[in-house]
Amino acid sequence: MDDDKKHVLLAEDNEITRMAFAELIRDAGYRVTEVSNGRQALERLQYFSENVSGELYLLVTDMEMPYITGVELIEEMKRLGIDIPVLAVTAYGDKNMVVRLMRSGCRDYLEKPVDGLALLNAIDHIFERRIEERRTAEKTREHILETESCLADLEKVRNEVNAAVQSYKNLMDMGNSAYKVHSACYSRPLFPIGGDFADIADTPEGCHVLVADVSGHDMGASFHTVLIKSLFNESGRIFGRGEDFFSRLNRHLVTYSKTERMATAVFLNVNLDKMSCEAISAGHPPYIRMKKNREIEIGPELSGDVLGVLDSVEFDAHSFPVESGDRIFLYTDGVVNAGRFIESSGKTQRLSKKGLEALIRKYGENDIVTMTDLIGEAVLRYSGYVLDDDVLLLGIEIP
């Protein structure tokens, strides 16, 4: 495709920076449209997505802009179904922003200060990848047509998919009574095969508890879920602490996925001899604890690197005492991000950690299994049974 068919939307509120970037990109042969804030960028993106002109589009956006920030712009694109790739420009060393970008589906970013050559190389790479994706999609469509003309092959594919779906169901079947702690798991994948995973492994002192969220909702995500399970099954014998488990898992994800599959996770080491817990996070939402006296506590936001992105990763841990009857809930993003559209404001209202806390308080009088199921169903009702991510909630009760 000719460069003049490749169109860059440049969103940058600093006029000097915007003019310099625009001139650099135009000199490389691309069309450029400049906007100075996120609201203007969203208007142009909607126009581009609704008008078929044969052009390929790319958004290059700063993160700090008036009206709508860069990350809010990307999240709104996802909500509206605007399928245009994004190159984000972030502050140097802002890991939290990188995590949020990746959770929003943006996998390309540059850190400030931005080198001109690096900017052009990134733009070239994204457009080349977009062209290849279109070619692959076209080949896939052709393959589907060929497959539909051959009933025997179609039946074979159907059987393989059904087997994969059943394997995922078996993978997620934890049971509720086979561990040293009482437990219950509520799981609703967005599609029959999901990337959320939860498991418990008994140890001599108590147990290890894991909840992980692999990006994607396909067979590839399911493959990485199997990888996580196989490693976690050895956690009681091999890994004394969650950091060791996460470091080894990260090496496997980086090796096998080549940064195309990231995962967040939380590892809970429950010591029933000392009546204590240690939580280790890899970019995952914090635990919520309902103490024996019904007091609710949201755990700290632990800094920890997302798995499968960087060769070298670091994690923070948090230790706290527990008593018999305490309940601890671990969950994936799909729970707190479950949302409903508010017509009066035109915005989506998310459940949030506070909303999950309220549900835990509301259903706290029930046993752990009933309580977990009631909370999970309440999350589905809150979203109007329309999900945009896998939903997984794991509850454990200290005996």
In this prediction the pTM is: 0.59
Q: Which residues 6+ apart lie within 8 Å of 46 measured at CB?
A: 80, 82
CB 379 within 8 A of CB 393: yes
Give the model's pLDDT for residue 351.
Answer: 93
Give the model's pLDDT for residue 133.
Answer: 81
Task: Select from 15, 21, 13 the least CA-distant residue to 38.
Answer: 13
Give the model's pLDDT for residue 171.
Answer: 54
Task: Select from 369, 376, 281 the least CA-distant residue to 334.
Answer: 376
Retrieve residue 300's tokens: 């700290």
Tens digits of residue pLDDT in 251-310? 888 876 554 668 889 999 999 999 999 999 999 999 999 998 999 999 999 888 888 888
Q: Residue ranges per domain, the chain? A: 3-138, 171-397
Distance CA 349, CA 97 (A): 21
Give the model's pLDDT for residue 176.
Answer: 47
pLDDT per residue rounded down to tens, the chain (399 residues)? 565 589 999 999 999 999 999 999 999 999 999 999 999 999 999 888 887 667 889 999 998 898 999 889 998 888 888 889 999 998 876 778 877 888 777 888 898 888 989 999 999 999 998 888 888 777 767 765 665 554 454 455 455 445 555 555 555 556 544 578 999 999 888 776 666 888 888 888 899 999 988 876 565 666 667 777 777 776 555 556 788 888 888 888 887 655 466 888 999 999 999 999 999 999 999 999 999 899 999 999 988 888 888 888 899 899 999 999 999 999 999 999 998 888 787 788 899 999 999 999 999 999 999 999 999 999 999 988 887 788 999 999 999
Q: Is the dihedral of CA 327, 384, 217, 68 positive or negative?
A: negative
Give the CATH number of domain 3-138; options: 3.40.640.10, 3.40.50.2300, 2.40.30.110, 3.40.1360.10: 3.40.50.2300
Residue 15: what are its φ and ψ, rounded to 5°? Answer: -60, -45
Chain position carrying tokens 């059943």: 166
Give the model's pLDDT for residue 154.
Answer: 43
Give the model's pLDDT for residue 136.
Answer: 79
Burial label for 397, CB within 10 Å (0-12, 13-18, 19+), is buried
Three-state SS for the chain is: CCHHHEEEEEECCCHHHHHHHHHHHHHCCCEEEEECCHHHHHHHHHHHHHCCCCCEEEEEEECCCCCCCHHHHHHHHHHHCCCCCEEEEECCCCHHHHHHHHHCCCCEEEECCCCHHHHHHHHHHHHHHHHHHHHHHHHHHHHHHHHHCCHHHHHHHHHHHHHHHHHHHHHHCCCCCCCCCEEEEEEECCCCCCCEEEEEEECCCEEEEEEEEECCCCHHHHHHHHHHHHHHCCHHHHCCCHHHHHHHHHHHHHHHHCCCCCEEEEEEEEECCCCEEEEEEECCCCCEEECCCCCEEECCCCCECCECCCCCCCEEEEEEECCCCCEEEEECHHHHCCEEEECCCCEEEECHHHHHHHHHHHCCCCCHHHHHHHHHHHHHHHCCCCCCCCEEEEEEECC
Distance CA 289, CA 398 (A): 11
Q: Same CATH topology for 3-138 and 171-397?
A: no
Domain 171-397: CATH architecture, name and number where available: 4-Layer Sandwich (3.60)
